[in-house]
Amino acid sequence: MNVNGRPMRTIWLADDGRTVEIIDQRLLPHELVIGRLATLDDAARAIKDMAVRGAPLIGATAAYGVALAMADDPSDVALSRAVEVLGGTRPTAVNLHWALDDMRRALLPLSPACRREAAFSRAGAVADEDVAINRAMGEHGLPLIAAALRRNGARGDRPVEILTHCNAGWLATVDWGTALAPVYRAHEEGIPLHVWVDETRPRNQGASLTAWELLQHGIPHTVIADNAGGHLMRHGKVDLCITGTDRTTATGDVANKIGTYLKALAAHDNNVPFYVALPSPTIDWSLDSGDAIPIEERSEREVTHIAGWTASGERIEVRLTPEGSPAANYAFDVTPARLVTGLITERGVCAASRDGLLGLFPERARTAA
């Protein structure tokens, strides 16, 4: 995607071939800072502290984290430790564990002398595969936006109005994004559109990240308070919702940033299509119910405090709540499959159900049985 007119990814191997560079998303939208990961612990901190976030990007970062560990010590013990350390950083995103399993399978059969080069090569392949998957999701989601435009033609030729929640764009992946990949493809095709951007508290990934990347790419958008989505749907100002997901069960239940469930309920009540874009590594074929998805609980400080920039360019953090009032910070919620109109994957769009997913991924029938 574009930053100041220049194509960028969110993570890449530095020119020295030994360190990994990332966009530090904690400082967006006011500062574009490139972070440097030199060790396993650097990669683990980047994931846990949300310098990188979004299920696909977490997976790619974990893969590079294993490679950094192998550069320091390519032994079996070090490989096991890297998988354990990185696996404990974020509990909900299944891509993390998919990437770690992939790296372990690729490296364990090799002699330690061969692991460093192989690890960086495989981590780069994981990143490239994510880009290809997301681009394909954009292609499959594009017809949904084009269809909405055709429906609008009979109602005054207004642009397609899309509502999204959290950030499931380029910044949540290596490139293209999940939920926003169809938006970027529609923009490329000249389809007039406008995106309603939920602020997505408490970390405000919509207001800070989605708005920033849409602005960089020249896509019309408006940031709204999280609770405004239902109002917009009731008044016919949303043609379709597209969100991402951090984990999807074999039966089509989806876990996404807290507040997604409420958007799905509002969409269902107002007959607004609600789509979820997911790369196949986000599907947890071992789970039949969203009730079994572990929900991350983060620090209450994310709820009680908020960071921003003053007019003079100083970054400050202020308290929102009374001193002494406790806060709960559930990072995700689960939207049941019955509220999901369809799942957008790299192989096509399907119903949010076991049969729908297996229709696109028949090779997983034994795993999902």
The residues that are catalytic are 246
Q: What distances in angstroms separate CA 341 from CA 46, 47, 186, 195, 291, one per listed residue?
A: 34, 31, 20, 19, 20
Q: Is the peptide bond before 202 cis (omega within 30 degrees of 0)?
A: yes
Q: Does residue 4 contact residue 216 with C-beta atoms inside 8 Å?
A: yes
E strand spans, 111-191: 160-164
The C-alpha angle with vertex 333 and arms to 281 and 10, in degrees rounded to 5, equals 45
Is the Cβ–Cβ distance between 273 and 341 less than 8 Å? Answer: yes
Peptide bond into 143 cis (omega under 30): no
Cα radius of gyration rounded to whole Å, the chain: 20
Q: Which two three-digit tokens encode residue 236?
A: 């016919």
Judge whether 215 and 4 are in contact, CB under 8 Å: no
| DSSP 3-state of 351 | coil
Centroid of chain to Cα 319? 28
Q: Are 256 and 246 in contact (CB under 8 A)?
A: yes
